[in-house]
Structure 1
Amino acid sequence: MIYYALEFTNNEWTLYHYDEELNNLPDIKGNEINKYFNLPDLSYLEDEYTTIEANWDNIEGEGYINIEITHPKSNDTYPFNSKYNNFSEFLKDIKDLENEIEIDKMDVSDWEYEKRDPYGSRGLSIRDFI
């Protein structure tokens, strides 16, 4: 059996694989990984305000997807972390990451608005407290 770890960092997928004695075999990067896994290119989702790190380790049988979104005006950073114990669920969420990031960005905007105007953002005014 060949053991492997998939990793997305710095706008690129990398497949680290090992033999039965866990000796490191040559790493596979970029489009060569598509021979083994049909992974989407996530680099277009990253920008100066969004970073993505994803990892799956079949030796440990777990993985994670970490997204950090920085609000452009406040420079506050919001992490969104997910942990997985099932590879098919990990792949499903990787393929749906664009939608998840859009939802996360809306959440960040809502939180920032609520920080600036905690009562008005909920439809309250000072008269509600008198």
Structure 2
Amino acid sequence: MKGLLFREHGVVVRADLDTPIPGGGEVLVQVKAAGICGSHLHGVADGMYPHPAVLRHEFAGVTEDGTRVAITPVPRDRLVPIPEGASFTAGAMAEVVANGAHALARSGGAQRKTVGSSAPDRLGGPPCCAPANREPAPSGSPT
């Protein structure tokens, strides 16, 4: 399989890697789309990650039984199915959107509230700020 390998301080290469063998309660996923988080890039540049290491974060793919899933490496019971028609790229971004949705749910909603993000890039803002600026939909109108 192919992967991004943090080979040495500041050096990331596309490399051939051994296919992992799932242990008890684990499942092998064929990756179809993946993201590299900004924290990974900073970690590579700053030397905070041990090497060699495979970089990965948000990703989506297909399990051996054909189930389309969006995941962060977790046990099988934590996989999130991707609906038919949704792209693998959208699945790979599910965690990013889920963080914003979780923050909104914990806050009781963002209507007329100040919303901020400590994310160092554009990923933290959109999931939180779009709902914060939205007025309630008039009764009977599409949302």
TM-score by length of 2: 0.27
TM-score by length of 1: 0.29
Greater gyration radius? 1
